[in-house]
A and B are shown apart, each in its own frame.
Chain A
Amino acid sequence: MLGWIAMKKKAVPYLFLLPSFSILLVFVILPIVYAGWVSMVQYRIVDPSASVFVGLRNFERILRDELVWVSLRNTIAYSVVTVTAGILISLLVALIITKRWFRAQQAVRVALFLPFIMSVVMAGLIWSYLFHADVGLFNYLLRVLGVGEQGFLGDPRQALWCVAVMMIWKNLGYNVVIWSAGILGLPQELSDAAQVDGVSPLAEFWYIQLPLLRPVMMFLTILGLIGSFQSFDAVFVMTFGGPVNSTRVLVFHIWQTAFGFFEIGYATAVAWLLFAVLVALTVLQFKSYGKEEALH
C-alpha cells in the first residue's frame, strides 16, 4: 500500500509533463523520425507504402548535385552578410537611441519595428519595385545623380545582396529592440565610473559595454543565422532563385525539388544537410562563446 502511494507520488510529475511531451512527440519527434525514413526512400506521394527503400543513395546524390552546392554557397554568403550587417547596424542604432539625450526613443523604436511585423512577401514586393531596373526608385535616384543605372535584381552579381538589404531592413527593428533592452539593462554605475575616470565613449563601449552585451550578441547571431539559413520567401518573391541561380538558396532548392519535381525523398535528404549545417554552426557558436566566457 505504501509502495503504491510512493509510486503514485513519483508518477504525478510525469503526468503533468505528459500533455507537453505528447505535443513534442507528435509535432517534433515523430516528424523527425519520419523524415529520416523519407530521406532513405524514393517516396511515393499517392501511396507512401509503395515507396522504395534506397538507403543512402539520396545522400550520395547530394554529392553529385551541383545545384545543392551552389545553393549552399549562396545561403552561407547571404547569411553571413545579413547577420553581420544586421547586427552591426542595429547595434549602432541602439547605441544612439538609448543615449539619455536622444528624444523620442519610443517612437523611433516603434517606427523601426514596423517592418518586422510586415510579412516578408509584402516587404519583398515593395523592395522589388524599389530595385526595379526600369521603374524603380533607386535607379531613378541614380539617374538624377548622374550615376549609371544598376541591374540590381537582374544582375547576378547584385541580386543576392539586394535581397540581403531587404532582410536587413526588415529585421532591423527587432534587433534594435533586443540590443536596446541589453544596453538599458547594463549597470549604470559602470558607465558613471568610466566617465569619472575619463574613459572615452569609444573605449567605454569596447571595454565595458560590449563584453557585457556578449550574451545578446550570441542570441542575435544564433537566431539570425538559423533564420537566414532558412530563408525562402524573400527569394521566392523577389527573384525566384535567379538570375542564373545567383539567389538560389538551400530552402528554395528543397522546395523546388519536393514540390516542383516531386522528389520528396531527395528533398528530405537535402533538408537533413541543412539541419546538419545549422547544428554544426550552433555548436560552434556555443563553443566559441563558451571559450570567451571561460577566458573572462
Chain B
Amino acid sequence: MKRLITIAVVLFVATPFLFGGGADERAAQPISVRGDTWSSGPELESIRATVDRFNERNPGIQVSVEGQVSGEKLLASFAAGDPPDFYYLFTPQLPQHVREGMAHPLDAFISGPDGIAIEGFIDAAILRYQEQIYGLPSGIYPQLLYFNKDMFDAAGIAYPDESWTWDDLATAAAELVREDETGRIVQYGFQADEHNRVWYSHFIGHNGRLFDDETRPREVLFNDATGVAAATFLKDLVKTLGASPPPAGGHGGTAVLGFRDAFPQGRVAMIMDGSWQVPSFNQVSGFRFGATLVPRGSTEVRGWHALSIWAMSAPGRNKDATWEYLKFNSDLDAALRFSDFGGNNAFCLPMLWAAYDDPRWQPSDLVRTFQGAASFVGQEAVFEDAGKWYWNIMRPGLQEMIILDQDPQSSMDAMARKTREEILQEWYR
C-alpha cells in the first residue's frame, strides 16, 4: 500500500515535467505551409529568397517551397489528399482548378481586415475568373521580341524597337534570311513558337475577341477578319516570304530546331518568347541579343504575358497562414526583390505600379527596353476548356494550315466549327 502511494505521488509530481513541457513545445511549433511550383533556376532561387525572408520575420509560420513540380505531380498530390497550401497555377487551367475545387478564391482575404490594396497591382496581372480573384502574381513575364544583334548588324538593319509594327517584323524577317552555296536556308529571319502564340499576340493586338463572352462563351468570333489576318500573317512568314521555318511538331522542338534552341544557336534572327528566357540566353557565351516589346497592332495591347500566379489551395488546411505568406509576397519590397531591384535575376517585371517609381527600381539596359510592357500587356484567355481549345484545336489547326498550305479563312472556319462542336456544345449539353 505504501509503495502504491509512493508511486502515485511520484507520478503526480513528474507528470507536468513529462507532458506539460511537451505541450508548451507543441504549442510553440510553427505552422507549416507548403508551396509547389514548376520553377527552377533563378526564378526558384528568387522564390526561396522571399520564403527565407518571410520565415525570418514570421517564426510562427514556416513556409517551404518545392520546385520543379510537374502538373501531374500537383494533380496527384490533390488526389492523394496531400495538396500544397499554395501553388503556381498555369493560367489557362484555372477554370479546371476551380471546377475541381482545387483553387480557392482570395476575395475574402483581399478585402478582409488583413487584406491588401488590389488597385495597386497592374490590373492585367490579377487572375480573375467568374468575377473572383484566384491568384496573385510574384511578377510579370511579358512576351518580348528577341533579336540577334550580330545578324542585324551584318544585314545593316536597325534593331527592333517599340515603334515596330507587325509589317516591320515581316519585312525585316524576309531581309534576314540567308542561304548557303547549295541554296539551303541556314538562317531564318523569324521563328514562331511551337504553340503558335504569335497568332494570339497578333490577334489581341488588333483588338481581336475570341468569343462573345470569354467567361461563358456562346458564340465564336475568332474566325473573323482579325483572326484570319493573324493566321495569314503566320502563313505568309513561312510560305510567301520564306522567312520562318514551318511549325515544329514536338513540344520541345524535336522535329525541327525549336525556337528556344535555334535562337541562341544563331539559326534565327528573331523569336517571340517570355522574358523568363533571358537568363538562358545570357548563359550562351558570346551571344549578343536584345529584346523589345511585341510589335504593335491597331491597339495598345502588346502581346500577352505569362502570370507566375500563386493560387491558394482550396483543401489546404492552413489558409490564414498561407494568406500571410501570399500577402508578404505581394508587397512592394517583395515585388522589387523578386524582380531583383532591376538587376532582374528572375527577369520579370514588378506587378505593382509603385515599384516603377521606387528609387530602388534600377532596371538594367535590357530590361529598360521592355519595361513598358507593364502598361501594354494583355492576358492569356481564361475560359472553361481553354487548354483543350488551345492544344487540340488552335495549335494543330494553325500547324495544318501552314504545313498543308490551306486557305486561312477556311482553316479558321474549321477551327471555329470544331470549337463550337467539341467545346461550346459540350458545356451546354
Q: A: which residues have CB within 8 A of B?
A: 44-47, 50, 61, 64-67, 125, 128-129, 131-135, 143, 149, 151-156, 159, 237-240, 242-245, 247, 256, 259-262
Contact = CB atoms under 8 A, between A and B. Distances in A.
Contacts, number: 119
Contact of B247 (A47, A128, A243, A245): A243
A20 B188 CA distance: 62
Contacts of B78: 45-46
Interface stretch (B22-30, B215-223, B251-259, B339-347): B251-259
9 contacts: A132-B254, A133-B257, A134-B257, A143-B184, A153-B254, A239-B249, A243-B255, A243-B399, A262-B100
B256 A45 contact: no
Query: Interface majority SS on A: helix, strand, loop or mixed?
Result: loop
Contact of A44 (B93, B100, B257): B100
B371 to A, nearest CB: 34
Contact of A153 (B102, B249, B395, B418): B249
Given A45-B101, A156-B403, 19 more contacts: A45-B75, A45-B78, A64-B422, A125-B254, A143-B182, A143-B184, A149-B184, A151-B255, A154-B255, A242-B249, A243-B403, A244-B399, A244-B400, A244-B404, A260-B387, A260-B388, A261-B96, A261-B385, A262-B93
B51 interface: no
Interface residues of B, number: 44
A46 B392 contact: no
Nearest to A152: B255
A153 B314 contact: no
A160 to B, nearest CB: 11
Contacts of A50: 101
Given A45-B75, A46-B315, A133-B256, A262 B96 contact: yes
Contact of B255 (A44, A45, A159): A159
A45 B250 contact: no
A159 B256 CA distance: 12
Given A66-B422, A238-B250, A260-B391, A153 B255 contact: yes
A270 B186 CA distance: 44
B7 to A, nearest CB: 47
Interface string B300-344: 000000000000001100000000000000000000000000000
Given A66-B422, A133-B256, A262-B75, A239 B400 contact: no
Nearest to B96: A262
B314 A46 contact: yes
B71 interface: yes
B257 A45 contact: no
Given A45-B102, A46-B102, A154-B256, A242 B250 contact: yes
A24 B367 CA distance: 60
B254 A159 contact: no
A219 to B, nearest CB: 34
Q: Which of A45, A65, A156, A256 has the most CB of B within 10 A?
A: A45
Contact of A240 (B249, B314, B392): B249
B312 to A, nearest CB: 13
B72 interface: yes
A159 B248 CA distance: 12
Nearest to B252: A240
A240 B79 contact: no
A159 B249 contact: yes
B79 A45 contact: yes
Contacts of B315: 46
A261 B390 CA distance: 11
A135 B253 CA distance: 12
B71 A259 contact: yes
Interface of B: 71-72, 75, 78-79, 83, 93, 96, 99-102, 182, 184, 246-252, 254-257, 262, 267, 314-315, 385, 387-388, 391-392, 395-396, 399-400, 403-404, 418, 421-422, 426
Nearest to A42: B99
Given A159-B255, A243-B399, A244-B404, A153 B100 contact: no
Q: Which of A61, A132, A134, A143 has the most CB of B within 10 A?
A: A134
Sort A-B residue pairs by CB-CB distance and give the 9 closest, nearest first.
A243-B249, A154-B255, A153-B255, A128-B254, A240-B251, A242-B249, A244-B400, A46-B101, A262-B96
A46 B385 CA distance: 19
Nearest to A247: B249
B389 to A, nearest CB: 10
A237 B254 CA distance: 8
A237 B253 CA distance: 10
A240 B392 CA distance: 12
Contacts of A61: 426
Contacts of A244: 396, 399-400, 403-404
Nearest to A253: B392
A82 B99 CA distance: 41
Contacts of A154: 246, 248-249, 255-256, 403
A125 B253 CA distance: 11
Contacts of A239: 249-250, 254-255
A249 to B, nearest CB: 14
Contacts of A151: 246, 255
A256 B246 contact: no
Q: Which of A132, A152, A238, A262 has the most CB of B within 10 A?
A: A262
Given A133-B256, A154-B249, A261-B387, A46 B396 contact: no
A246 to B, nearest CB: 8
A262 B252 CA distance: 23
B392 A67 contact: yes
Contacts of B249: 153-154, 156, 159, 239-240, 242-243, 247
A47 B254 contact: no
Contacts of B182: 143
A8 B395 CA distance: 66
Contacts of A132: 254-257
Contacts of B418: 66
A239 B385 CA distance: 23
A139 B5 CA distance: 93
Contact of B391 (A46, A134, A143, A256): A256
A238 to B, nearest CB: 6
B404 A45 contact: no
Contacts of B256: 132-134, 154
A64 B78 CA distance: 30
A238 B254 contact: yes
Contacts of A159: 249, 255
B321 to A, nearest CB: 20
Contacts of B396: 242-245
